[in-house]
Amino acid sequence: MDTITVNLGDRSYPIFIGSGLLDGSDILKESTPAEQLLLVTNETISPLYLERVEAAFADRKPRSLILPDGEQYKTLEGFGRIIDELIEARFHRDACILALGGGVIGDLAGFAAASYQRGIDFVQLPTTLLAQVDSSVGGKTAVNHPQAKNMIGAFHQPIAVLADTNTLATLPPRELAAGLAEVIKYGLIQDLDFFCWLEEQLPALLGQDPEALRYAIRRCCEIKAEIVAQDEHEHGRRALLNFGHTFGHAIEALGGYGKWLHGEAVAIGMQMAADTSAALGLIDSADAERIGVLLEQAGLPTSASELAGDNILNRMRLDKKAGSHGMRVILLDRLGSAAVRPAPDDQVLRSAIGRHVTAGQ
């Protein structure tokens, strides 16, 4: 088992990465000291893992809430169902929520924990690759608005993250690929050696080689823990973690939060961001093509052909990272290094987006 610490002073917490962590391990129980527990999961995950987590806490008689599965359910209604459950059970301020699932469950449960009685503990039990490498770490919690993704939320750190790598064995290939999009992102924004390792080890990752997956998860969590410790509330460097996301979130919203998985939309967004970087002379066009090759080899899309470029651009302007001085985007200075920059003029963005859409062009 690997252990990584997110250093945030008295709110620091561990990330545990290993196999069998959900099977009644001492670490699971020791990481969750509260007596009142609410397990929040979804209809896909509950038949696979809910009983074993409930059994681990049988002496505390946890309550469980099973929500529908899908990004389209990451809404205020879903948030309200968790709050209703907490109130109905008369949970106190020293209670704890356990988020058992992927990024949607983690975001919903975390936002409910941030809001109930002005904040209670929660533990992340991520069961997808995307959640294990990214969304479960860092304390971003949110629900979607029909017009923009993650527009309603709060920063609220978990007290622990337990990434049980055994859960990845039940991931459909599409979900595994979606998680690899975020893995590739970490190499692109900060670690060229890791990006090169991914190019070499992609077949092992797609084949779910345990050691390759464990290393990838650990390296991503190390990078994210370092960045979050430096910039918890995204006033500066943490924005680099959104590489490809300004484009990708627009694509997700236009697809109704159901057509593309988050990682798929981010993959398209990273390709658009790479092409924007190349158009501005920040990277070579060969580097942008190299990124596209790796994304496609991972089974990820690099285009949203049926969308209109202007619609994507208009949705990007609603992105929560936009400030009083206009929209910002994360672009590459080179492979393994990114920076937050003011968005270039619309002509540059339209051109980069237009290479990956056909409708309305």
Would 305 be classed as within a structural domain?
yes
What is the reported pLDDT for 147? 85
Task: Say whether both 186 and 290 belong to one domain.
Answer: yes
Task: Say whether both 338 and 202 belong to one domain.
Answer: yes
Would 289 be classed as within a structural domain?
yes
Task: Say whether both 20 and 110 belong to one domain.
Answer: yes
Task: Say whether both 201 and 318 belong to one domain.
Answer: yes
- Mean pLDDT to the nearest integer, 13-31: 93
CATH code of 151's domain:
3.40.50.1970
Among 143, 170, 197, identify where a domain stops: 170
Task: Say whether both 114 and 186 belong to one domain.
Answer: no
Among 103, 136, 170, identify where a domain stops: 170
For 42-82, the pLDDT digits (tens) are 999 999 999 999 999 999 999 999 999 999 999 999 999 99
3-state secondary structure the chain: CEEEEECCHHHCEEEEEECCCCCCCHHHHHCCCCCCEEEEEECCCHHHHHHHHHHHCHHHCCEEEEECCCHHHCCHHHHHHHHHHHHHCCCCCCCEEEEEECHHHHHHHHHHHHHHHHCCEEEEEECCHHHHHHHCCCCEEEEEECCEEEEEEEECCCCEEEEEHHHHHHCCHHHHHHHHHHHHHHHHHHCHHHHHHHHHHHHHHHCCCHHHHHHHHHHHHHHHHHHHHHCCCCCCHHHHHHCCHHHHHHHHHHCCCCCCCHHHHHHHHHHHHHHHHHHCCCCCHHHHHHHHHHHHHCCCCCCCCCCEHHHHHHHHCCCCCCECCECEEEEEEECCEEEEEECCCHHHHHHHHHCCCCECC
Give the residue numbers marked as catalytic. Answer: 118, 140, 182, 224, 234, 238, 242, 245, 249, 262
Give the whole-number percent of the chain exceeding pLDDT 70: 98
Residue 220's domain comprises: 173-354
What is the reported pLDDT for 19? 95
For 119-132, the pLDDT digits (tens) are 999 999 999 999 99
What is the number of structural domains in the chain?
A: 2
Task: Say whether both 195 and 330 belong to one domain.
Answer: yes
pTM: 0.94
Task: Say whether both 252 and 274 belong to one domain.
Answer: yes
Average pLDDT of the chain? 95
Would 44 be classed as within a structural domain?
yes
Would 144 be classed as within a structural domain?
yes
